[in-house]
Amino acid sequence: MIEIWGTNSPNVVKVYIALEEAGLEYKVHPMNVLEGDQFDPEFVKRNPNKKVPVIVDHDGPDGEPFTLCESGACLLYLNEKSGGKLAPKDKAGYWHAVQWLFQQHGGIGPMGGQLAHFARFAPPGLDPYPEQRYRSENNRLYDLYDSQIAKHKFIAGDTFSVADMAIWPWIVYHELHGLDLKRRTHLQDWFDRVHDIPSVRRAEAVHGSPISNAEVGEVDPDALDRFFIRGKYAFG
């Protein structure tokens, strides 16, 4: 049994998809990170970085309980645990999948997160440059993925892999972030194709819809400041 602490955010959704695709039994512990569940001392013991997801495999290496955080590490661990179900079997294909997994962690992950912040959650009246800068970079990345998928069925080749599991949950936010899929026909086709995969559908039933602007608006302002590390919670 694997336990997972998480939300409906992209970095958690990718692990839900991996668990479903691997066919591993798991239990979800829902976290409300906007209200500060990640600061609970018991959770901090699992991840001192106070981020989700966190998994605990009760049949980990050497048969002992094993705790792991960072979503990319979780995907690679689950691939190994499942006997390689989440990546191409050949070595070149495997490393191409890992390459694009790492690209997501340095690309659409942080860039999409920053666009979300400045487009949806930042205080009004800010200089427009930050949003414009991150919107431009997200559009560049969408073009990159579109050109990559023009050559292959999936991101890293013709096999559904950790690369797709990592990138797809970020593309889910295209409408909320005002990014156009329709003119990127290869990316649109891939997005729909991945959405139709049974493991993705099952994961979607677990995590639900992306958090809306209205839901964020209902969060206590102090809790939101703590989540965004601003105001009295800013580090100096």
- Do 82 and 131 fall into the same domain? no
Same domain, 82 and 100: no
Reading the chain (236 residues) residue by residue, the pLDDT tens digits are 999 999 999 999 999 999 999 999 999 999 999 999 999 999 999 999 999 999 999 999 999 999 999 999 999 999 999 999 999 999 999 999 999 999 999 999 999 999 999 999 888 899 999 999 999 999 999 999 999 999 999 999 999 999 999 999 999 999 999 999 999 999 999 999 999 999 999 999 988 777 777 788 889 999 999 999 999 999 99
Q: Do both 54 and 82 map to the same domain?
A: yes
96 and 188 part of one domain: yes
Q: Which residues pair with 67 in a beta bridge?
A: 56
Residues 118 and 144 in one domain: yes
Residue 117 has which token pair?
């912040």
Which domain CATH number covers 70?
3.40.30.10
Please tell me whether residues 98 and 6 are part of one structural domain.
Answer: no
Q: How many domains does the chain have?
A: 2
**Alpha-carbon distances, residue 71 vs 102, 103, 146 (angstroms):** 11, 13, 24
If asked whether residues 6 and 64 sit together in one domain, one would say yes
pLDDT for the residue 209: 78
Residue 206: how many other CB atoms lie within 10 Å: 18
- Do the beta carbons of residue 166 and residue 105 sit within 8 Å? yes
Domain co-membership, 53 together with 131: no
Do 150 and 99 have their domain in common?
A: yes
- Residue 3 contacts residue 14 (beta carbons within 8 Å): no
pLDDT number for residue 215? 80
Residues 76 and 96 in one domain: no
Domain extent at residue 222:
2-86+205-233
Assess whether 75 and 154 both reside in one domain: no
According to DSSP, the residues that pair with 4 across neighbouring strands are 28, 55
Q: Please list the residues that pair with 54 across neighbouring strands.
A: 5, 69
Q: What is the DSSP letter of 34?
A: T
Instruction: Say yes or no: 178 and 210 in one domain.
Output: no
98: domain CATH number is 1.20.1050.10
Q: What is the model's pLDDT at position 220? A: 93
- Which residues does residue 5 pair with via DSSP β-bridges, in sequence order? 29, 54
